[in-house]
Amino acid sequence: MAPNMSLFSVNAILILSTDDSSRVLAKYYSPPHPPVGTAPNSTSYPGANPYPNPKDQKAFEKGLLEKTSKQTSDIILYDNRVVVFKMESDVMLYVVGGSDENEILLYNVILALRDSLNILLKNSTDKRTIIENYDLVSLAIDEIVDDGIILETDPVIVASRVSRPPVQDITQVKGIDLSEQGLLNAWAFGKQKLEERLRQGL
């Protein structure tokens, strides 16, 4: 087992605007508990957030956008970090990992993010739509990566967990009687149906 192996494979997920080089959404990750014996405020252990303050983050994002705007590939090494990215309309999607991270793993994360957003935003992944549906986009990212640990890379599963429930389901839930008597009625109804099924089976 390699000494630097860690579940914390993602340092950041970024969505940056290509029009004005502004940040649309950024999530930087650090393990909640640094390894024992790590110096306070250290960023040298595996999975540590290399950009702990907003000034460092903005400088990294600006340089990253300048570097990737001229690239034809989807994977680069920038600032000693593996960065995979995809261009969608007027935004760039980025997944940032450590220099020794598996590029294929990070590439699967960027594909999951892109495809999830296409499903959730109905193929209109642009800055305006992302801002209008910020809650869905943020939840989708949280379903894919949590604290830098990759949880899910299937875009259909991510979108199904994040999408809003249909309107008719909401109205049905509102009509349920949750009082004590209503719950007793539901229990009696369920018991009656179970007895009928058991009688039919015998």
Whether residues 49 and 95 share a domain: the answer is yes
Whether residues 147 and 176 share a domain: the answer is no
Whether residues 155 and 180 share a domain: the answer is no
Q: Decide if 44 is inside a domain.
A: yes
Whether residues 107 and 90 share a domain: the answer is yes
Q: Decide if 62 is inside a domain.
A: yes
Give the C-alpha separation, 126 to 89, whole Å.
5
Whether residues 150 and 190 share a domain: the answer is no
CATH number (domain holding residue 22): 3.30.450.60
Residue among 62, 67, 100 at smallest CA distance from 81: 100
pLDDT digit string (tens) for 16-37? 998 888 899 999 987 766 666 6
pLDDT digit string (tens) for 133-151? 999 999 999 999 998 889 9
Whether residues 147 and 72 share a domain: the answer is yes
Q: Decide if 3 is inside a domain.
A: no
For 137-166, b where at least 16 C-beta lie within 10 A, e where not — what string?
A: bebbbbbbbeebebebbebeebbeebeeee
Residues of the domain holding 191: 167-201
Whether residues 191 and 141 share a domain: the answer is no
Per-residue pLDDT of the chain (202 residues; tens, 9 = 90+): 455 567 888 999 999 998 888 899 999 987 766 666 666 666 666 556 778 788 988 999 999 988 888 878 899 999 888 999 999 888 999 999 988 888 999 999 999 999 999 999 888 889 999 999 999 999 999 999 998 889 999 999 999 888 766 555 545 555 666 677 778 888 888 888 888 888 876 5
